Structure 1
Amino acid sequence: MLKHIKPCISPELLKVLMEMGHSDEIVIADGNFPAASHNEKIVRLDGNDLASILEGILFLMPLDTYVENPICLMMHGKEVERPQIWKEYEELVTKSENVFKAEYLSRESFYERAKKAYAIVTTSEKALYANIILKKGVIVEE
């Protein structure tokens, strides 16, 4: 056991986060996302909601400050005005001392970007359009 690591952050996910370098991207996907057909490196975190995993990752990994939008969200369709979960993401990012700057991608563009990501984390999130991509930043000496 380790201190200060959320229980939803698995050893496999810790390994992936450590392997990632500056500007590598990680997808945190909802339960409907076709992860297996979009990337070979998949971390399964079934039974967990996306916001808990996002919070755990943001505690461990800095977002890229050298790009305009270190966060990508999948655009919503006509049936969803603005997914409520996006507000929760904004609060979690701000709480983690990062700035919430998101790029909004169509479903097709998001899928193409996911294919190039370092890894996809699968969840049991049921909210629609909950998928998010994070671009890893650097740790700066203080």
Structure 2
Amino acid sequence: MLKRLDPLLNADVLYALRAMGHGDELVIVDTNFPAESVSRQTVLGDLLRIDGVSAARAARAVLSVMPLDTFVDDAAMRMEIVGNPGEIPAVQAEVQAEIDRAEAKSWPMGSIERMAFYERAKQAYCVIATGETRFYGCFIFKKGVIPPKQNVLKPKKG
């Protein structure tokens, strides 16, 4: 355990989050997503896991340390429901609440058609599988930046 770090952030997930750069994408998926086969095609090439939790809880852990990209319109995206792309199921509303909480403001998710989601996930940095059993618990987050703090290092006097 580490101080002030969400205990769901295991060593493999922390490694990936730290290694990702600005603009890299991370995918959080439910138990029905073909996570193993898709993850082999990502930059990392291995499936990461945050088992036994909902997509919203996994999103909370990830977003506790990863900023979203402010340079793009859709730094957070959800998989659209087939035949009803505008519907927002409970699992997606819960993740939306976690995004808003992490960013301390309303940050609406974009949406992406199901098959396009699969293709985009293959181009991501990594895929994190969760214990989410509800349908359409699949999300893409684009990593942003943390601006430098002013006067972090002050020269010692004398």
TM range (shorter): over 0.9
CA contact (8 A) 1:48 1:124 kept: yes
2:59 equivalent in structure 1: 54
1:30 equivalent in structure 2: 30
Q: C-alpha deviations, 1:28-85, integer Å up to 9, x for none?
A: 0001010111122210222222111100111100000000110111001248942112
CA radius of gyration, larger in: 2
Unaligned 5+ segments in structure 1 are none
Q: Distance in 1 between matches of 2:82 and 2:114?
A: 9
Identity of aligned residues (%): 37
Q: Distance in 1 between matches of 2:103 and 2:51?
A: 27
RMSD: 1.6
Q: Distance in 2 between matches of 1:43 and 1:8?
A: 12
Q: Given residue 25 of structure 1, which amino acid in structure 2 is its aligned partner?
A: E
CA contact (8 A) 2:35 2:47 kept: yes
Correspondent of 1:74 among 55, 79, 91? 79
2:94 equivalent in structure 1: 88
CA contact (8 A) 2:23 2:144 kept: yes
1:109 aligns with 2:116: yes
Q: Given residue 94 of structure 1, which amino acid in structure 2 is its aligned partner?
A: D
